[in-house]
Amino acid sequence: MPARFLTPALEQLKELAAQKLSEHRLDYAEILTYGTPRRLILFVRGLAAVQRPAVKEVKGPAAKVAFDEEKRPTRAALGFARSQGVAVEELVVKPVGPVEYVFAVVREEGRAAPEVLAEISPAFITDLHFPRFMRWGDGELRFARPIRWLLALYGDQVIPVTVAGVTAGRRTSGHRFLSGACLAVNNPEDYFEKLRDNFVLVDPAARRAAIREQVAALAARAGGRVQEDEELLEEVVNLVEYPTAVTGSFDEDFLKLPPEVLITSMREHQRYFPVFEPNGRLLPRFIAVSNTTDSAVIRRGFERVLRARLADAAFFWEEDLKTPLVQRADALKKIVWQENLGTLSDKVERIVSLASFLARALEVTGEEEEAALRAARLAKADLTTSMVYEFPELQGIMGREYALRQGEEPAVAQAIFEHYLPRFAGDRLPETVPGTILSLADKIDTLTGCFALGIQPTGSQDPYALRRLALGVISIILERGLVLSLRELIAQAYANYRGAAALELPEEKVRSDLEEFFAQRLRGLFSEQGLPFDAGEAALAAGVDDLSGVRERARALADFRSNSPEAFERLLTAFARANNLSRKHRRRDVDVSLFLHPAEESLYQELQKVRARVQKCLERRDYRGALAEMTALAAPVDNFFDGVMVMVEDERLRNNRLGVLKNVVDLVSTVADLSKLS
At residue 181, φ and ψ (nearest 5 deg) are -75, 150
Q: Give me the chain's average pLDDT, please.
A: 94
Q: In the predicted model, what is the mean pLDDT of residues 382-402?
A: 96
Per-residue pLDDT at 219? 96
Sequence letter at residue 303: E
Please determine, looking at this structure, whether the domain spanning 548-676 carries the CATH number 1.10.730.10: yes
Q: Looking at the DSSP assignment, which residues form a beta bridge with residue 56? A: 106
Concatenate the DSSP letters of all residues of 331-392 into one string: HHTTSEEETTTEEHHHHHHHHHHHHHHHHHHTT--HHHHHHHHHHHHHTTGGGGSHHHHH-G
Model confidence pLDDT, tens digit, residues 68-102: 988 899 999 999 999 988 898 889 999 998 999 99
Distance CA 609, CA 551 (A): 27
pLDDT at 465: 93
Q: What is the pLDDT of residue 141?
A: 92
Indicate the angle between helix axes 204-221 and 3-23, nearest 10 degrees.
150
Residues 127-137 have a mean pLDDT of: 93
Q: Where are the domains of the chain?
A: 3-50+112-197, 54-108, 204-321, 327-530, 548-676
Helices (H), ranges, 498-590: 507-528, 533-541, 547-563, 565-582
DSSP state of 267: I
Within 10 angstroms of residue 504's Cβ, the number of other Cβ atoms is 13
Note the pLDDT tens digit of each residue in 315-346: 999 999 999 999 998 899 999 999 899 999 99
The Cα 271–Cα 667 span in angstroms is 59
Q: Which residue has the higher pLDDT, 376 or 269?
A: 376
Who's near 478: CB < 8 A, 6+ residues apart?
525, 547, 548, 551
Of 481-485, 587-591, 615-619, least confident by mean pLDDT is: 587-591
pLDDT digits (tens, 9 = 90+) for 185-206: 999 999 999 999 999 999 999 9
- CATH code for the part of the protein at 327-530: 1.10.3210
Burial (0-12, 13-18, 19+ Cβ within 10 Å), 45:
exposed
Rounded Cα gap, residues 97 and 652, in angstroms? 55
Residue 270: which of 296, 301, 242, 229 has the closest Cα?
A: 301
| 628 touches 570 (CB < 8 A) | no
Q: How many CB atoms lie within 10 A of CB 443?
A: 25
Query: Percentage of the chain surpassing pLDDT 70?
Result: 100
CA 334-340-346 angle, to 5 degrees, is 45
For 545, the 3-state DSSP assignment is coil
- Could you tell me if 335 and 356 are in contact, meaning their C-beta atoms sit under 8 angstroms apart? no
**275: phi then psi, degrees, rounded to nearest 5:** -110, 135
What is residue 60's predicted lDDT score, i.e. its pLDDT?
93
State which amino acid sits at residue 504.
Answer: E
Mean pLDDT of 246-251: 96
Tens-digit pLDDT profile for residues 534-556: 999 999 999 999 999 999 999 99
